[in-house]
Structures are given as C-alpha cells and as structure tokens.
C-alpha cells in the first residue's frame, strides 16, 4: 500500500476543507485507491482554528522548517494565499524535494515561471488544479484531455461573486451597489470586493488557463481587465431587448494576429450555454479544432469544492511516474505574439438632446471610424433628453474607443458615452 504524508500550510476556509476531506475519506482512499493519506503536519498560528477542527496538537507547528525537514511529509499543501510568505514557503518545500499543491492563483499568475523552475531543479512536483474554477477540473481537462486539439478559444465565467451580482441585477432589476451589499452580507463578496468586482481574480485565472490552453506563457500584464462597477441595470435591460445576457467573461483566443486575453463585462446571446449559468456557479466553454465545443460547469469557489480539487492533486501527483513541467513557463516575459486590438461587436449607450439630426451625427462619427451600425433603438425621452442604444457590427477595439471619445465631444451628447460593452 502506498503511503502519502501531507502537510497543510494554513487552516483557513480551504485549508480546513482539505483537512476535513483527508480525514473523513481516509478509509475510502485506502479501499478504493490503495493509498493511505495521512496529515503529518499542519502549519497554523491561529490556535482557535486548530481547536475548532479538533486537530491533534502533536502535528501542529508554526515553523516551516519543521514541515520541510519532516521525512514523513511527501506533499505540502499551500493555502495561505497572497504572495508572501506563501512564495517562500512553496520554494522552500520544493527545494527539499516535496511536491507542492497550491490554490494560490495570484501567486501562480505572477510567479509561475520562478516556482516551476525551482520544482524542476529539485525533481519535485507543482500542482494547482484548485487555483482556477474551484472544484471544476478545467486544468486537468486542458493538460490531459485535449491533446488531440489545437485550442482555439476559451471563454469562462470564472468568478462566482460577479456572477452572483449580475444574476441578481438581471433577474430582480437591482442596481450594482444594492446587490453588492447583499453579496457581502451573504458572504459571497469580501468587505473589500476589489479583487472580484474589478476583475483581478478572473484575470489571474485567465492568465493561467490561457497559458495552458495555448502553450504560451500569458503574463498577467497581457490580460486586458475591466470590472463590473459601472454596469447599470438599464444596460442589462436594454441588452435583453437585443437578445443578450450580461456576464463578466474571461476570454482567451488564438488567431492569425496572435493571442488575446481579456476580462470584461460581455453580452452573450441568451441561447449560449454560458448565458444560463447563474448565481455563484462557474463555467468554462472551450473550443478545440477537433472536439469543437465543450463546457465544464460547477461551483467555482468555497471550502469543499476547492478542497476537492486540492485532494485530487494530492492523489494524482502521488500516482505519476514523473512530474510534468510546462515547457514555456521559464520564459518570464512570454514568448508569444499578443493581439491588443481585438475585434468583436459593441453595445454603446448615450444620453442625447431629443432633437432631429442627432442620430445622423452619431452615425457619422461611427462611420468615420469604420464602425458599422447593426441595430439602433431610441428609449425614453424626458426633459428634452433621449437615450440612444447602438449595437455595432464586428469591428476593432481601437476604432470603437476612438469613436466613443469623439461621440463624447458632440454638443448634442448630454454626457460622455454612458456605456461601452463588448458583445460575443
């Protein structure tokens, strides 16, 4: 029978969930996989948390040196989060030949190249299924189930907080700030929601997923990022009139002009599978040149779903003949061609003076910038003002942004352009 000794660094939400699974499923792992998994060490400074989980004090330490020098420890699970001391702890474990399993998407997105180099130099494994989309096995799908494909695109709802907020805004007609307060009260959003609502969390995940999908290092600096703070319920309502739902999408594509990686609010057709993903659930839609379209769906966060992915990596890493190292990751700056001027359709909302000739002015500016109008609607007219909503044909990002800047300068546009939302 194979024996695996595990050390858990941090007993927060995910660390606690990992401990619960490893201890409650111990007999199953023995009977089903012939593997005896034992928690040999726990590194935690919060004594109350240790007591809450009823952990034997004999395996508790506050010193990373005790963990890495313990010969019974084969796998170190890092669930501290943040950059430091997590990075130092991971590299220390790898230098001692320990396999490391991590859920730390920010650290991996920013320092993957350094960590992987240390792992390779010490013949140790580095696994991070839990870093992206919680319990949904998207990383293993990309690395082990898609070898017969060139992946053309990856689109995902990969942040549960923003999907919860946008779902409530769409289904209940609420404004962003009201739903954010509700999400914070229910524990879906942090007291400081910046990482989620401004798109940082999704950008970290997309950096990792698009790197794996396209076999090219996609640094976090190459990911275009835009959050949902400025989304209005009006835009969601108007989008529905065009047949669209609004989601915060993480989009990676590989085309003739290179790789594009972007996170932003996006209108998608109501018939698209991603449009039906609601509340805090996540989904990733992958298109390969041979397999065509597949979608993975499930809970993208939380203690037990994320811990499930960590435990999967623990068992998986113990069964491989040799550890796999991503070949591109040693190139710190990335070795791909990245397309900043991506193309798609666009939704534009303006408040204008309710008078003849305004629409012609708008069409003129768009036309001068090679932006073609697909559809236009005029909404309520109050106090001499009207709302114009334009849906464009596919065009380029730079052209639309230049047109929007010019539209904001028209004398009959009451305010600057109210909203610019991309459409897939």
205 catalytically annotated:
yes
Separation CA 284–CA 294 (nearest Å): 8
To 10 degrees, what angle do helices 105-121 and 86-95 make? 20
The residue annotated as part of the active site, out of 87, 105, 205, 222, is 205
User: Averaged over 310-316, what is the pLDDT?
Assistant: 97
Quick one: pLDDT band at residue 44, thresholds 50, 70, 90? very high
3-state helix, strand, coil in the chain (%, to 5): 40, 25, 30
User: Percentage of the chain surpassing pLDDT 90?
Assistant: 87
Euclidean distance between CA atoms 270 and 283, whole angstroms: 15
Q: What is the mean pLDDT of the chain?
A: 94
Find, among 314, 409, 256, the residue nearest to 3 by Cα: 314
Quick one: which of 24, 22, 21, 19 has its CA closest to 4? 22
Q: Which residues contact 218 (CB under 8 A, 6 or more apart)?
A: 206, 207, 210, 211, 252, 259, 261, 334, 336, 338
**Alpha-carbon gap, residue 74 to 377, rounded angstroms:** 63
331 pLDDT band, cuts 50/70/90, is very low
Which pTM was predicted?
A: 0.94
Cα 299 from Cα 302, distance rounded (Å): 8
Sign of CA dihedral 279, 280, 286, 292: negative
Alpha helices for 215-262 (secondary structure H):
233-241
DSSP code string of 115-162:
HHHHHHHTT--EE-GGGSSTTS-HHHIIIII-TT--EEEEEEE--HHH
Q: 233 and 246 in contact (C-beta within 8 Å)?
A: no
Locate 320 and state its tokens. Answer: 């491989």
- The pLDDT score that the predictor gives to residue 335 is 55
Closest CA to 245 of 302, 170, 188, 168: 170
Task: Tell me how crowded residue 198 is: count the other CB atoms within 10 A of its CB.
Answer: 17
Residues near 382 by Cβ (< 8 Å), separated by ≥ 6?
none
Task: Categorize the per-residue pLDDT at 393 as very low, low, confident or very high, splitting at 50, 70 and 90.
Answer: very high
Helix (H, G, I), strand (E, B), or coil: what is residue 271?
coil
pLDDT band of 321, cuts 50, 70, 90:
confident
**Per-residue model confidence (pLDDT) at position 422:** 98
Residue 98: the pLDDT is: 98
pLDDT of residue 330: 43
**250/210 Cα distance (integer angstroms):** 10
What is the tens place of the pLDDT at every residue in 59-93? 999 999 999 999 999 999 999 999 999 999 999 99
Closest CA to 199 of 234, 150, 242, 166: 166
- Report pLDDT digits (tens) over 165-207: 999 999 999 999 999 999 998 888 889 999 999 999 999 999 9
**Which residues lie closer than 8 Å to 26 by C-beta, 6 or more apart?**
36, 37, 38
Residue whose C-alpha is closest to residue 197's, from 175, 156, 229: 229
Residue whose pair of structure tokens reads 């396999």 in the numeric block: 99
> pLDDT class for 255, splitting at 50, 70, 90?
confident
Which helix or strand (DSSP H or E) is residue 299 part of?
strand 292-299
Q: What domains does the chain contain, in order, with CATH numbers? A: 2-134+323-329 (3.40.50.720), 138-300 (3.30.360.10), 343-423 (3.30.70.260)
pLDDT for residue 333 is more than 60? no
pLDDT band at 380 (very low <50, low <70, confident <90, very high): confident
Q: Contact 80/105 with Cβ under 8 angstroms?
A: no
Q: Please tell me the predicted confidence (pLDDT) of residue 300.
A: 82
Question: 148 near 122, Cβ under 8 Å?
Answer: no
């Amino acid at each position: 029978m194979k024996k695996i000794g595990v050390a858990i660094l941090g007993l927060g939400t995910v660390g606690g969930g990992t401990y619960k699974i490893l201890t409650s499923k111990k007999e199953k792992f023995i009977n089903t996989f012939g593997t005896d998994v034992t928690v040999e060490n726990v590194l935690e400074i919060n004594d109350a948390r240790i007591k809450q989980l009823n952990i034997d004090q004999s395996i508790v330490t506050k010193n990373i040196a005790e963990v890495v020098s313990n010969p019974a420890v084969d796998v170190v699970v890092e669930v501290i989060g943040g950059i430091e001391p997590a990075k130092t702890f991971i590299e220390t474990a790898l230098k001692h030949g320990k396999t490391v399993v991590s859920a730390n998407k920010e650290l991996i997105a920013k320092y993957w190249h350094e960590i992987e180099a240390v792992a390779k130099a010490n013949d140790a494994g580095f696994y991070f299924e839990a870093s992206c989309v919680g319990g949904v096995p998207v990383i293993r799908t990309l690395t082990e189930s898609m070898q017969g494909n060139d992946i053309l695109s990856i689109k995902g709802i990969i942040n549960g907080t923003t999907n919860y907020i946008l779902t409530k805004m769409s289904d209940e007609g609420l404004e962003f700030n009201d739903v954010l307060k509700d999400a914070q009260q229910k524990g879906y959003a942090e007291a400081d929601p910046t990482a989620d609502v401004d798109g940082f969390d999704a950008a970290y995940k997309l950096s990792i997923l698009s790197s794996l999908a396209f076999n090219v290092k996609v640094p976090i600096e190459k990911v275009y990022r835009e959050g949902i703070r400025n989304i209005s319920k009006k835009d969601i309502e108007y989008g529905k009139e065009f047949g669209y739902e609004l989601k915060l999408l993480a989009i990676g594509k590989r085309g003739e002009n290179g790789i594009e990686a972007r996170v932003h609010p996006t209108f998608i057709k109501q018939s698209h599978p991603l449009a039906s993903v609601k509340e805090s659930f996540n989904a990733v839609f992958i298109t390969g040149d041979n397999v065509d379209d597949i979608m993975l769906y499930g809970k993208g966060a939380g203690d037990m779903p994320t811990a499930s992915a960590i435990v999967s990596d623990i068992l998986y890493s113990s069964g491989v003949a040799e550890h796999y190292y991503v070949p591109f990751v040693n190139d710190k700056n990335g070795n791909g061609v990245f397309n900043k001027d991506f193309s798609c359709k666009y939704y534009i909302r303006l408040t204008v003076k309710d008078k003849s000739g305004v629409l012609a002015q708008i069409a003129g500016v768009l036309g001068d910038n090679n932006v073609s109008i697909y559809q236009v609607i005029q909404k309520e007219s109050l106090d001499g003002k009207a709302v114009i909503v334009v849906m464009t044909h596919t065009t380029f990002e730079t052209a639309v942004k230049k047109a929007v800047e010019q539209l904001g300068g028209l004398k009959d546009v009451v305010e600057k352009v109210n909203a610019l939302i991309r459409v897939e």
